[in-house]
């Protein structure tokens, strides 16, 4: 099974959430307390149902992967059938599928995602160990592509139809259509391996060289961050740019902007103080969706750059296959998208009291 399956699945949920945010569907006003609480309860119930559906999907989907995980754990060594049977019993693989499923769901409700086959450690512990590296990478990328997307989107809309607007929109869409793993490999070839004009400028992978401490360690990690962050920013900022551009274009014909210009305000001031704040609402909603998508979509980037986060861990688990670890990570990636979509829906009425009137 390709490692692109998980981001593809969760990306579909993220794209749906983006479309909802951009369309700004009718929601109850935050001022109507009872209606808003019913609305929030409905969204939370939908999120719980979605999470359970992901739990079921993660259990059955990865059992379609060819190969025997018990034999994979032996590392190709000669092992007797008695030993294999004992290992299957140890991990509960000798039980009927329905019984494995019920036990898995029962433990998952309590936060127990099972024990990793290859690491012989609780899945939740392995996820906790790898999570900070993923949050560091995706957090920095998220801030950068949000700032770049909002800035370029607002300037492009204000000068729509000009060369700069057409160029930035076309360039963003081109990068958005490029597979992240391909772009990452290209950056490694040009800036790390030495084929390009600046040979060996950045490391080919990993999070640190080792042997550093204090400020030297921080600079070392930052040096390793450059290429994976550039890759994530390049393929993600187009969404923010397009939504911000579209929202601002909708605002540009409003009467309050004409009034502001009639008062003699500079065009740049009208854009920054009046138009952009009102056009930010769909973009703010999109940011929650983007954050969940970025965490889920970091699998390929982390794998290409050997980044020791959740994406790299997922690739290791999938190659065994380490079913409990794969299931746990898939659940985390999908949950990130579902939770962020739910937060976006819940927060939108608080940001715009006009919605639902």
Q: What is the CATH number of the domain that holds 18?
A: 1.10.3720.10
Q: Which residue has the tokens 């400020």?
A: 215
Residue 87 covered by a domain: no
Residue 70 scores a pLDDT above 70: no
- What average pLDDT score do residues 103-122 get? 82
Residue 91 covered by a domain: no
Query: What domain range is 132 assigned to?
Result: 5-63+122-351
Calculate helix-pair angle for 276-304, 310-319, nearest 10 degrees: 40
Residue 71 covered by a domain: no
Residue 24 scores a pLDDT above 50: no
Convert the pLDDT of each residue in 127-160 to its tens digit.
Answer: 999 999 999 999 999 999 999 988 888 888 888 8
Question: Of all residues in the chain, what percent are helix, strand and coil, respectively (each to 5)?
Answer: 75, 0, 25
- The mean predicted confidence, pLDDT, of the chain is 78
Task: Please report which confidence band the pLDDT of residue 227 belongs to, taking 50, 70 and 90 as the band edges.
Answer: very high
Residue 47 covered by a domain: yes
Angle ∠(103,108,114) on CA atoms, nearest 5: 75
Task: Please report which confidence band the pLDDT of residue 354 belongs to, taking 50, 70 and 90 as the band edges.
Answer: low
Instruction: Let me know: does 23 contact 285? Beta carbons within 8 Å.
Output: no
Count of structural domains within the chain: 1
What number of CA atoms fall less than 13 Å from residue 351's CA on the CB side? Answer: 18
Residue 2 scores a pLDDT above 60: no
Stronger pLDDT, 272 or 324, i.e. the higher one: 324
Q: Which residue has the tokens 């990690």?
A: 221
Q: What is the pLDDT of residue 140?
A: 93
Residue 57 scores a pLDDT above 90: no
Residue 75 covered by a domain: no
> What predicted TM-score, i.e. pTM, was given to this entire model?
0.75
Task: Please report which confidence band the pLDDT of residue 73 belongs to, taking 50, 70 and 90 as the band edges.
Answer: low
Task: Please report which confidence band the pLDDT of residue 352 belongs to, taking 50, 70 and 90 as the band edges.
Answer: low
Q: Which residue has the tokens 């981001």?
A: 7
Residue 214 covered by a domain: yes
Instruction: Let me know: does 294 contact 232? Beta carbons within 8 Å.
Output: yes
Residue 84 covered by a domain: no
DSSP state of 122: B
**CA pair distance 252, 250, nearest whole angstrom:** 6
Residue 35 covered by a domain: yes
Residue 344 scores a pLDDT above 90: no
Residue 172 scores a pLDDT above 80: yes
Stronger pLDDT, 52 or 296, i.e. the higher one: 52
**CA pair distance 25, 43, nearest whole angstrom:** 14
Instruction: Let me know: does 1 contact 318? Beta carbons within 8 Å.
Output: yes
Task: Please report which confidence band the pLDDT of residue 357 belongs to, taking 50, 70 and 90 as the band edges.
Answer: very low
């Amino acid at each position: 099974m390709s490692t692109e399956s998980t981001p593809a699945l969760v990306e579909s949920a993220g794209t749906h959430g983006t479309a909802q945010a951009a369309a700004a569907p009718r929601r109850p006003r935050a001022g109507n307390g009872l209606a808003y609480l019913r609305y929030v309860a409905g969204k939370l119930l939908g999120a719980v149902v979605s999470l359970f559906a992901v739990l079921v999907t993660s259990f059955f989907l990865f059992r379609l992967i060819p190969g025997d995980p018990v034999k994979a754990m032996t590392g190709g060594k000669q092992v007797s059938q008695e030993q294999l049977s004992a290992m299957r019993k140890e991990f509960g693989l000798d039980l009927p599928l329905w019984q494995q499923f019920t036990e898995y769901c029962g433990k998952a409700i309590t936060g127990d995602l099972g024990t990793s086959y290859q690491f012989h450690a609780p899945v939740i512990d392995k996820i906790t160990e790898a999570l900070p590296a993923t949050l560091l990478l995706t957090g920095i990328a998220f801030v950068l592509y949000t700032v770049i997307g909002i800035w370029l989107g607002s300037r492009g809309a204000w000068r729509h139809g000009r060369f700069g607007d057409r160029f930035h929109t076309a360039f963003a869409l081109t990068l958005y259509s490029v597979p992240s793993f391909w772009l990452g490999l290209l950056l490694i070839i040009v800036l790390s391996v030495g084929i390009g004009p600046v040979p060996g400028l950045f490391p080919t992978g990993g999070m640190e060289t080792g042997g550093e401490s204090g400020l030297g360690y921080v600079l070392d990690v930052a040096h390793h961050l450059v290429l994976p962050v550039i890759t994530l920013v390049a393929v993600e900022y187009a969404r923010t740019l397009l939504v911000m551009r579209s929202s601002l274009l909708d605002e540009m014909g409003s009467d309050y902007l004409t009034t502001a210009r009639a008062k003699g305000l500079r065009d740049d001031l009208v854009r920054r103080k009046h138009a952009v704040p009102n056009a930010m609402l769909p973009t703010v909603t999109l940011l929650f969706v983007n954050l969940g998508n970025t965490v889920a979509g970091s699998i390929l980037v982390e794998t290409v750059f050997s980044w020791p986060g959740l994406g790299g861990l997922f690739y290791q688990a999938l190659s065994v296959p380490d079913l409990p670890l794969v299931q746990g990570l898939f659940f985390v990636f999908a949950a990130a998208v579902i939770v962020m979509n739910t937060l976006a829906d819940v927060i939108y009425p608080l940001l715009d009291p006009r919605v639902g009137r």
